[in-house]
Chains A and B, each alone.
Chain A
Amino acid sequence: MSAARPAPTTTAWQWARLNLFGSIADSVLTVVAAVLFAWFVWNAFDWAILRADWFGETKEACKSGGACWAMITARWQQVVAGYYPEAHLWRVALAMVCLAIAVLPVIKRDMPAWAALLAPAGVIASIAVLGGANILPSVPTDYWGGIMLNVLVGLTGAIFALPIGILLAFGRRSDLPIIKGFSIGFIEIVRGVPLITLLFMSSVVLPLFLPTGMNLDKLMRALAVVTLFSSAYMAEAVRGGLAAVPKGQREASHSLGLGLLQTTGLVVLPQAIRISIPAIVNTFIGLFKDTSLLYVIAILEVTGVIRQALSDFAWLGLENEGYVFVAFVFWVACFSMSRWSASLEQQSGKTVKRVEEPA
């Protein structure tokens, strides 16, 4: 019997010789690619950081030839909160704290079951703080805006779309023809229509379903549309997870005497949600990026604020800076969500390897 020995190791130099400089052609390609890459990174860094101008009242302040971030810094208040009154900006901060509490049950593990209620409570509290709720001075939603609005709409959509999506996913698998038909109809219609048309329609169609005289706020209408829109996608994400839970799980649960609701809530759904985490987070990311569409119905989220700044004579011609900044804001948010999803998967992968399926 031969003794076990450690696997042979490769040094970085050996790896590079093999993979980057294997032949003359490889070496040339490696060098050219490295030079191009370095040139691009250096130019971007030089433009965005080294030669950038950070402060000023108009673009006249930007003389160095690099990026002119002065447009962003001069309007930081609108970028963050739209036209929310300056004296009440603390309410924006408080609303953000409420939203942070709302996402707590998703981010922190081992929370008790009631903590799930923090999510809708936090969202409603943040809207109440921003709007005034008859306690604080009222601030109409026309004044809300900026990154705050993207976060608010994105989180509200996500938090309410998940339960609606779960219901739709069960509806689609239901044996009752009316419920099944309604769920399929809703999902397929919503998935077949672009969000932008739904947003336009929301100002015409939604009021038809409301009692006469009742005037729903434009932002609230948009919130409803965004929520329902992503719930259709959420339903499909969760349906994939439900289908992946083996039939034997339901049978085992029934044979132990657990009823339909208990089986669904304690056995099937926890497994289905874990399986669908990547698809659910994917929907979250899409939803957050879609909040930039709100500007087409004149809601001043961050893209709208930047477009407004760009049409200001003082900042004409700074499209590069404006859109690079918007892209950066969205990228930071979406990349964090993607990392968070990866960590969730890794964590559940440790404990929930699938028990083998019947052959």
Chain B
Amino acid sequence: MSAKQPAAKKAPAKPQARPELGPPCVEIEGVHKWYGDTHILRGVDLSVRDNEKVVILGPSGSGKSTLVRCVNGLEPYQEGKIKVVGVDLGGGAKESAVAKRKTGMVFQQFNLFPHLTILENCTLAPMWVLKTPRKQAEEEAMALLDRVHIAEQARKYPAQLSGGQQQRAAIARSLAMNPEIMLFDEPTSALDPEMVGEVLEVMTEMANAGMTMMVISHEMSFAREVADRVIFMDEGEIVEIAPPSEFFSKPKHARSKEFLSRIL
């Protein structure tokens, strides 16, 4: 259905009544990370509140992807603290497992499981981690697939879907675990241009429905319309945090200006 959308379709306008921002959902305090001798995160402090949407920008190698992967628990960090809904990621094995489960992640390369159907992709984790009965898991998964407009593809395998459909399936798979916050690591940069719109549309719908989101993306229209704050990172640090209207029109920091001049 959404494949028929015009290619350059902009995400629908932000509705007036957005729910209020809630208490902090993710709290990042003084996080440092090294890859071998490379100091990739150099003291990052950031708090994302419930229902807030932040878009993270920055040149490659700036540490934005590493930061999001740390929040998801995919990467360890050597110093500092990350809390997800009040639970410490660096706590004991049990505590960090709880914290990890509260975040959902969408990858640049989709990373759908190619040996399972789209429906099975979405029911695998609920059935094995949450012990949801198959029937209930399938019903919930079908509802989510309907939400991302690919319910009719449920019985197909990932390789039979277009890139845009695969990424939307990956979003549904993450949502199936009922995360408190969704993390997106360049969700549209592996897509053919005509499929970017359909994925951004689904993300915008999620945002409007009140999901907390941290999005790494260089899609300016999405950042302008959806983000509450834009975070600009460079060389492992947060350089500037500003509302999108401010950041794109009059960036304060020299490095932000230089970056924007290169991508706009």
A residues sitting closer than 8 Å to B (CB atoms) are 246, 248-249, 251-258, 262, 266-267, 270-271, 274, 351-358
Contact = CB atoms under 8 A, between A and B. Distances in A.
Contacts of B209: none
Contact of A255 (B74, B110, B114, B158): B74
A355 B177 contact: no
Contact of B177 (A256, A271, A357, A358): A256
Contacts of B251: none
A348 to B, nearest CB: 8
Contacts of B73: 254-255
A274 B157 CA distance: 15
A248 B157 contact: no
B129 A352 contact: no
B109 A358 contact: yes
Nearest to A271: B115
Nearest to A247: B111
B159 A256 contact: no
B159 A262 contact: no
Given A351-B157, A352-B157, A355-B158, A252 B115 contact: no
A256 B109 contact: no
Given A257-B97, A267-B113, 7 more contacts: A249-B111, A253-B125, A255-B100, A256-B173, A262-B128, A266-B128, A354-B114
A351 B97 contact: no
18 contacts: A249-B113, A251-B105, A251-B107, A252-B111, A252-B112, A253-B125, A255-B74, A256-B124, A256-B173, A256-B174, A258-B129, A262-B129, A271-B113, A352-B115, A355-B110, A356-B190, A358-B108, A358-B190
Given A256-B174, A358-B109, A270 B74 contact: no
B128 to A, nearest CB: 5
A353 B174 contact: no
A255 B72 CA distance: 7
A256 B111 CA distance: 12
A257 B125 CA distance: 7
Interface residues of B, number: 32
A257 B101 contact: yes
Nearest to A348: B115
Given A252-B107, A266-B124, A257 B113 contact: no
B119 to A, nearest CB: 14
A271 B115 CA distance: 7
Contacts of B166: 355
Query: Lowest 10 A-B CB distances belong to which pairs?
Result: A252-B111, A353-B159, A256-B125, A248-B111, A255-B105, A351-B157, A257-B101, A257-B129, A270-B115, A352-B114
A12 B108 CA distance: 50
Contacts of A254: 73-74, 100
A342 to B, nearest CB: 19
B208 interface: no
A262 B130 CA distance: 13
A174 to B, nearest CB: 19
B204 interface: no
B244 interface: no
B103 interface: yes
A211 B206 CA distance: 67
A353 to B, nearest CB: 4
B236 interface: no
B197 interface: no
A353 B114 contact: yes
A353 B166 CA distance: 13
B112 A355 contact: yes
Contact of A352 (B107, B159, B177, B190): B159
Interface in B80-130: 97, 100-101, 103-105, 107-115, 124-125, 128-129
Contacts of A248: 107, 109, 111
A252, A256, A266, A267 interface centre (most CB from chain B within 10 Å): A256
Given A255-B72, A257-B129, A356 B109 contact: yes
Contacts of A252: 105, 107, 111-113, 170
